[in-house]
Structure 1
Amino acid sequence: MKKFLLTVSALVLSCACTLSAHAQDIKGDATAGAQKNALCIGCHGIQGYHIGFPEVHKVPKISGQGAGYIRAALHAYKAGERKHPSMRTLAASLSEQDIADLAAYYESSGSGINVPATAADGPAKAAELVAKGGCTSCHGANLSKPIDPSYPKIAGQHADYLYVALRSYKINDKPMIGRSHPVMAGIATQFSDKEMKVLADYVASLPGEIQTVQRSRVK
């Protein structure tokens, strides 16, 4: 399995580098992004906000998330590699400059927490699952220092969102649910739903840099 992950990771990273070369030509402006996030803050700007599709869960924390990952995620929604209907519709309405500006804005609006280089010891089962999935191979130390800009910080993310996201990589036969990603699909298929919940709860318990910044009251 380790050999498979290394091979597929190399292929994905190669493709990501090709896409990134073009994306990096477009520089994001955080100030401009702050003026373009009206649709984003309707969900991502409310602390504790839940959505009900494909099941009830909190929307992910994205303030402080890496700009490279936000760009990659929005492009995946735009291309249909991620099938969430609302996000696909939103992403389809964005230009390359809009995506770059929003990514720059959200990267700049994190918690500023200095995450320790290594995570505190967790439950033995959770540690076993992290090792089994090779999570730190991509998401880095404490699962908050990704080895590539297109990978997300996941430490401190909402547990219920992480669980739904992990399960989505195992779904490939639904028109409105699922995510297409060769590395994550290979990893997710190793785990039962029960194991995914243990893993998600553990990752959510770690200190992280991402947060939800509460939007200003709308008058």
Structure 2
Amino acid sequence: MSKQTIATAALALALAAGVSCVRAQDNPAGDAANGQKKAAMCIGCHGIPGYRASFPEIHQVPMISGQGAKYIASALTAYKKGERKHPTMRGIAGSLSDQDIADVAAFYASHQRPTAAAAAPAPSAAVAELLKKGNCASCHGEGLNKPIDASYPKLAGQHADYLYVALKSYKTENNPNVGRGNAIMGGMAKPFTNAELKSLADYIGSLPSDLQVVPNAKFR
């Protein structure tokens, strides 16, 4: 091996190591125990079974216990940056450091439960066509419960009314308080009517799921 080849290989390794270090700093490891201590602002909504929000319309707040840590961190970061427009969530996320976000995400991701193998209900012919059109499983995985990338959410079993609101938000433009700036999901949601999105949300919400609400001890 020539000296030039060795030098090139060494430089490549050094650059790769540098990139790895930057990524590690940008994405700190989360600590679930610390996250439990930092989740005080979360439990008032996400720790009460059946709790409903009234903005931008009445809907159950999403279940986040059992979601992947990388997705929860991604969502909180999007609220913090204003890519997801929601005044309350932006205020909460904006008060969190990157380490806080990682810790809270690890805490909610740690709420795993053994799930019995349950058969998914068969979609109607109309919903089957909508699922095919949206190709939801290509990102959200088998049963819409096994995302192909950890930064994507589990959808199966999520509250249908929340899913409907979330899907509509990807269609919303030029609203300072409502909307989500995800180009991929925007492109997926916009071809559907709101009635079609509701049908999709109702079906997805009926699927077997890892998601749950873990009540905080204060509210039990």
Q: State whether TM-score is above 0.5.
A: yes
Match of 2:81 among 79, 82, 90: 79
Residue aligned with 2:84, SS: coil
Q: Which runs of 5+ in 1 are unaligned?
A: 1-17
Residue aligned with 2:204, SS: helix
| AA at the equivalent of 2:37 | Q
| AA at the equivalent of 1:137 | S
Do the aligned partners of 1:114 and 1:209 also contact (CA within 8 Å) in 2? Answer: no
- What residue in structure 1 maps to residue 15 of structure 2? none
Shift of 1:25: 4.6
Structure whose alpha-carbon radius of gyration is higher? 2
Do the aligned partners of 2:48 and 2:219 also contact (CA within 8 Å) in 1? Answer: no
Distance (Å, rounded) in 2 between the aligned partners of 1:111 and 1:59: 20
1:136 matched to 2:137: yes
Deviations 1:102-138 (A, max 9, x none): 110100113332556x844221111111111010010
Q: When the two structures are superposed, what TM-score results if normalisation uses the length of structure 1?
A: 0.86
1:95 matched to 2:105: no
Distance (Å, rounded) in 1 between the aligned partners of 2:97 and 2:66: 22
Distance (Å, rounded) in 1 between the aligned partners of 2:93 and 2:65: 18
| AA at the equivalent of 2:107 | Y
| AA at the equivalent of 2:190 | T
Give aligned-pair identity as a percent: 55
Residue aligned with 1:68, SS: helix
Do the aligned partners of 1:115 and 1:144 also contact (CA within 8 Å) in 2? Answer: no
Shift of 1:163: 0.2
Deviations 1:4-36 (A, max 9, x none): xxxxxxxxxxxxxx9x93467511001111111
Compared with structure 1, are the counterparts of its residues 100 and 132 closer, same or farther at alpha carbon in structure 2 (3 Å cutoff)? same
Distance (Å, rounded) in 1 between the aligned partners of 2:121 and 2:183: 30
Distance (Å, rounded) in 2 between the aligned partners of 1:205 and 1:86: 28
- What residue in structure 2 maps to residue 39 of structure 1? 41
- What residue in structure 2 maps to residue 165 of structure 1? 166
Deviations 1:21-72 (A, max 9, x none): 3467511001111111111000000000001000000000000000010010
- What residue in structure 2 maps to residue 8 of structure 1? none
Distance (Å, rounded) in 2 between the aligned partners of 1:54 and 1:30: 31
Distance (Å, rounded) in 2 between the aligned partners of 1:183 and 1:122: 24
Compared with structure 1, are the counterparts of its residues 72 and 104 closer, same or farther at alpha carbon in structure 2 (3 Å cutoff)? same
| AA at the equivalent of 2:184 | V
Compared with structure 1, are the counterparts of its residues 180 and 23 closer, same or farther at alpha carbon in structure 2 (3 Å cutoff)? farther
Deviations 1:150-188 (A, max 9, x none): 100000000000000000000121000000001100010
- What residue in structure 2 maps to residue 60 of structure 1? 62
| AA at the equivalent of 2:62 | P
Deviation beyond 6 Å, 4+ runs, structure 1? none
Distance (Å, rounded) in 1 between the aligned partners of 2:124 and 2:215: 32
Distance (Å, rounded) in 2 between the aligned partners of 1:25 and 1:193: 36
| AA at the equivalent of 2:187 | G
- What residue in structure 1 maps to residue 122 of structure 2? 121
- What residue in structure 1 maps to residue 14 of structure 2? none
Distance (Å, rounded) in 1 between the aligned partners of 2:120 and 2:61: 24
